[in-house]
Chain A
């Protein structure tokens, strides 16, 4: 098998990026992340305050450290929020361009589906579908190669984990039909 006919992505980082419009700027993402972290800090802070966040006779209570940490986290994200808001007026870098977003989604969406399928059909069926599908649809690799690779890899995983080492993976109706 020669290397070149299988190569599907440009492996030169210096290759010119195609001219693609920005989807969202780094500044906006930073603002959203800071807001989310702030919300998390408030939620956790409240929960810890309820658990008990004072310093009693035997030292700090269970919520003591987490409570102050949530305050620190809140402070940090608030500061980050202000910095990001101020910087927004100035030119802010691109978080992701449309072409990049498309490529990220091309791997993220299959991964998400993979997790979903694992939940219902078990890990081995899901991994077969993911590998075969990804190689065929994203990698544009010949169908037979994709199916064969997926089958071999999944089979190796199955033999290694479920048979040789007794590590039990989530399984679904297909495996059940074969008595596993």
Chain B
């Protein structure tokens, strides 16, 4: 861990291109199933790198979504010293070790860069209540608890549901689906009353007018103002705080290398992903999926990770999701 921080510290200035290049195809490890947000992002990067000739070797997407993504974490952990694998990580790197006692610590990997932050939105069926207040009132008045769909158990979606309960006093029964896409269709089919999907997961059903965004779990509104549906843009969704429910959560999307790689190897990838964030493919993707752009590396990244880890840990503890 100290080594990783030292490496990162050494690189905190402008990362110089140090001359190392991969000689084998680079595996981009996705800790989720096919078609999910991580997979889509990985394929966007694969396409961006290939179309703009950012790297000589090809990039291969390798899906390791087994055991809710734990497979990918263990795979990275066991690939120590191998500079041809990059993990596209999200909040599971903090949560899985807590909820399922997976012997994994993100500090054993080499941080490369944080490339985006993902939002969470409270959605309901377009036939359901129109505002957060009406929704909460309806949930309280319902004879059996409202069903809230989400991805996985004891993860970000589940934590958000527990916090909604705590802040509003309404009761929900949480249904853990295998993917955000499934949670989206189940909401459209009226099998659940609401979900807390990422914007990208509900985008298409929103555009088709089948679901309604109630509020976004962030301090400020999403910045994209171009119309997504006939009448609304991402920026038109109020924050939950505006609507009287003070719950906030953002999820990182970050790249990691396995532990014990050299500084040159790390520098190569920092440079590579920095170039990726300059491409039009990346920019279009960010806007379309309503992701918050960010690029952190070196010391800033480690500091961000430490703070983020602390927040997630306290949320998990409060929600009672930490395994004994």
Contacts and interface: CB of A to CB of B under 8 A. Distances in A.
A180 B58 CA distance: 15
Contacts, number: 9
Contact of A58 (B23, B24, B58, B173): B173
Interface string B141-175: 00000000000000000000000000000000100
A166 B173 contact: no
Interface residues of B, number: 7
Contacts of B23: 179
A166 to B, nearest CB: 4
A9 interface: no
B293 interface: no
Nearest to A57: B173
A125 to B, nearest CB: 19
Contacts of A166: 25, 58, 60
Contacts of B60: 166
Interface in B169-221: 173
Contacts of B27: 168
Nearest to B84: A168
Contacts of B25: 166, 168
A168 B84 CA distance: 11
A119 to B, nearest CB: 15
A168 B85 CA distance: 12
Main secondary structure of the interface of B (DSSP, over half): loop
Nearest to A167: B60
Interface in A146-180: 166, 168, 179-180
- Most chain B C-beta atoms within 10 Å of own C-beta, residue among A58, A166, A179, A180: A166
A168 B82 CA distance: 13
A58 B23 CA distance: 52
A168 B27 CA distance: 10
Nearest to A58: B173
Contacts of A179: 23
A166 B23 CA distance: 13
A58 B171 CA distance: 13
A5 B23 CA distance: 46
Interface in A7-60: 58
Interface in B272-320: none
A165 to B, nearest CB: 9
B184 to A, nearest CB: 23
Interface of B: 23-25, 27, 58, 60, 173
Interface of A: 58, 166, 168, 179-180
9 tightest Cβ-Cβ pairs between the two chains A and B: A166-B25, A166-B60, A166-B58, A58-B173, A179-B23, A168-B25, A168-B27, A180-B24, A168-B24
Given A166-B58, A179-B23, 7 more contacts: A58-B173, A166-B25, A166-B60, A168-B24, A168-B25, A168-B27, A180-B24
